[in-house]
Structure 1
């Protein structure tokens, strides 16, 4: 399915949830930013659950390497096993 269609459908779902909770749309900036943060964090639940189902550990190193760059938009940190420049 095209990503813009998925985005629209998820937006409609989010709008419905906002209406059920009584939050005005567009939400005030603070609430909107918290909602965006929640989406970024929620997006990382899938890889974490997949890792748990594969019986792999959830380590801080894994979280920093895989999740933090996606949440913060920062580049992935260099691997610790590579020699410094």
Structure 2
């Protein structure tokens, strides 16, 4: 979790620096990032359902 927070903080700092320098970010467009977020969420659905079903909760 700590690595995620450090990564997020670094990204925010670079974004602020780009904004101050008036440089366009080379990051992918927001729609691509939304797709990546969906992929990450989708990766966790099957294990989550398996855990839920194996715990006997219906």
More helix by share: 2
Q: What TM-score do you get using the length of structure 2 for normalisation?
A: 0.39
Q: What TM-score do you get using the length of structure 1 for normalisation?
A: 0.30
